[in-house]
A and B are shown apart, each in its own frame.
Chain A
Amino acid sequence: MIKAINITKEYRTEGRVHRAVSDVSFTVARGEKLAVLGRNGAGKSTLIRLLGGVELPTSGAIEQNMSVSWPLALQGGFQGSLTGNDNMRFIARIYDKPFDDIKAYVDDFAELGKYLSEPLKIYSIGMRARFAFALSLAIDFDCYLIDEVIAAGDQRFQRRSHEELFEKRVDRSLILASHMGEIIKSYCSRALVLHHGQGNLIGDIDLALQVYNDL
């Protein structure tokens, strides 16, 4: 279970206080799949980073009793100047997993071939998404935090991601930020609709997409 209790995040920019996430509360149980919907700048990515412990909330608390992945986003979490292999070695070391197992899994899932010995900064967005996603599946978390990356991959990658997350890991939780209605519908059962940092928890995905579209 992961539980967000009245979390608020403020940033100070040009002397003004900007409230990116405002008093948001929700609970995600084991195996539950929650969508985070909202327009650009609504606070989706901020919320995902708070849940991942990358940034700390200004007030409120996040409780968890399952392992939560790092936020899988288009950036962050890796060193661009290092190769795919060196990034994998680093991840393997800090998560205490055998490098060979991780490498074998990523090789199979991400299909990056010889690119794994190239620096990450030359990867395309889709390749990066595949790399990050494969690596987090290889580590094996109870809950995955995903910020748009699935949408960045091609059809084949999207199909395989779906397979991995739904057929092989039905019992895992998922918090998925996206504005792609199709992806949300095929992954999630509930949604948190964010608007100007404020959250609205909706139990019906079609209704949630309706609310989002009307924003």
Chain B
Amino acid sequence: MGKFREDLATQWRVIGALLIREIYTRFGREGLGFGWIIGEPLIFAVPVLLVWSAVRAPYEHGVPMMPMVWTGYLPILLFRHIGGRMLMFIRANAGLLYHRQVTIFDIYLARCILEVASNSTAVVASFALFYSVGLLDPPLDLSMFYLGYFYTIWWSAAVGLIIGGLSERSDWVEKIWTPFSYLYMFFSGFIFMAAWLPPAVRGWALYMPSLQAYEMIRAGMFGATVKTYGDPGYITLALGVLTLIGLQIMRESRKYVVAE
């Protein structure tokens, strides 16, 4: 038990050190520095959100577009950023593996934590901004909103694990990731709700974990005013399986690491 606690303490220390290092190497120590963690996604998200909501009708299927786009776009950013940061991340960080207490899993976790922190602050900051100018109302069911966001994070992290591991084995993964992460916008559930689909299609679409997560986020945002189809039992099982597959791929990839 003492050994386990010691290992856990080491792991937290290592992840903390990796986080600080990641922040320095990504954002530098001059100027805005750490502030970019909020600034970066905001600069990206705010204009896109305004354009999206401007070009679409204010209501579709009785649902207001601005909160629809706001709840849709930030999870897209999280998914893309985590996936993108995991492409060949083992290779890029092989130098860190010189220190044996640093594992690829620590590097993965540090990167995920940074992306989630960055995305969450963007969620809060963009909400504050849009709320203050009257474009957005607070979610009606906050705990459901958080639950949906939790699954969004888990889904993005699980895909990141798989993408990260596979990209070490085949160059194809990196090439396919770009178009895939773009097309993902259309089939993830960002711009539609399960209730808008024909029943025959809906059954299949709900196998997609991201749509499940979106359904919960929107159930949280709009409350009982919309019909949603989120199923926590299914998504927990699906993400659990994906995570186990991802961990196995990652462990396999470690054998193929070639240090600098």
Inter-subunit contact B21/A77 (CB<8 Å): no
Is residue B14 within 8 Å, beta carbon to beta carbon, of the partner chain? yes
SS of A interface (majority): loop
B101 touches A76 (CB 8 A): no
Determine whether A4 belongs to the interface, using a CB cutoff of 8 Å to chain B: no
For this complex, 14 residue pairs linking A to B, each with C-beta atoms less than 8 Å apart, are: A54-B97, A55-B97, A55-B257, A56-B254, A58-B255, A76-B260, A77-B95, A82-B21, A82-B24, A86-B21, A93-B13, A93-B14, A94-B14, A95-B101
Asked if B150 is an interface residue, CB under 8 A from chain A, the answer is no
Within 8 A of B (CB), among A47-74: 49, 52-56, 58, 68, 70-71
Distance in Å: Cβ of B27 to nearest Cβ of chain A: 12
Asked if A11 contacts B258 (CB within 8 A), the reply is: yes
* Residues A22-66 near B (CB distance < 8 A): 49, 52-56, 58
User: Could you list which residues of chain B lie within 8 angstroms of chain A, going by C-beta atoms?
Assistant: 10, 13-14, 16-17, 20-21, 24-25, 94-95, 97-102, 254-255, 257-260
Which A positions have Cβ atoms within 8 angstroms of B? 11, 49, 52-56, 58, 68, 70-71, 75-79, 81-82, 86, 89-91, 93-96
Task: Kindly list the 5 A-B residue pairs having the minimum CB-CB distance in the complex, ordered from nearest.
Answer: A93-B17, A77-B98, A70-B98, A53-B100, A54-B259
Asked whether, in the complex, the Cβ of B100 is within 8 Å of the Cβ of A56, the reply is no
B95 touches A90 (CB 8 A): no
The answer to whether A56 touches B255 (Cβ under 8 A) is yes
Closest to A53 in B: B100
Q: How far is the CB of B102 from chain A (nearest CB, A)?
A: 6
* B255 (CB) vs chain A CBs: closest residue: A56
Chain A residues, Cβ within 8 Å of B255: 56, 58
Is the CB–CB distance between A55 and B259 below 8 Å? yes
| Chain A nearest CB, measured from B33 CB (Å) | 13
Given contacts A56-B255, A96-B13, contact A79 B99 (CB under 8 A): no
Tell whether, in the assembled complex, residue A54 and residue B25 are in contact, meaning their CB atoms are under 8 Å apart. Answer: no
Q: Which residues of chain B are near A58, meaning CB under 8 Å?
A: 255
Given contact pairs A11-B258, A76-B259, A77-B98, enumerate 13 new A-B contacts (beta carbons under 8 Å). A52-B98, A53-B97, A54-B98, A55-B97, A55-B258, A56-B255, A68-B100, A75-B95, A76-B98, A79-B95, A89-B20, A93-B20, A95-B101
Question: Which of B17, B98, B99 neighbours the largest number of chain A CB atoms within 10 Å of its CB?
Answer: B98
In contact, A90 and B21 (Cβ under 8 angstroms): yes
The reply to whether A76 and B95 contact each other, CB–CB distance below 8 Å, is yes
A17 to chain B, nearest CB (A): 13
Contact of A86 among B13, B16, B24 (CB under 8 A): B24
Shortest C-beta distance, A8 to chain B (Å), equals: 13
Chain B residue numbers with a CB within 8 Å of A81 are 25
Closest to A78 in B: B95
> Do B25 and A90 have beta carbons less than 8 Å apart?
no
B139 to chain A, nearest CB (A): 38
- Give chain A residues whose Cβ lies under 8 Å from the Cβ of B258: 11, 55
The listed residue (A52, A75, A76, A93) touching B16 by CB distance below 8 A is A93
Indicate if the CB atoms of B254 and A70 lie closer than 8 Å.
no
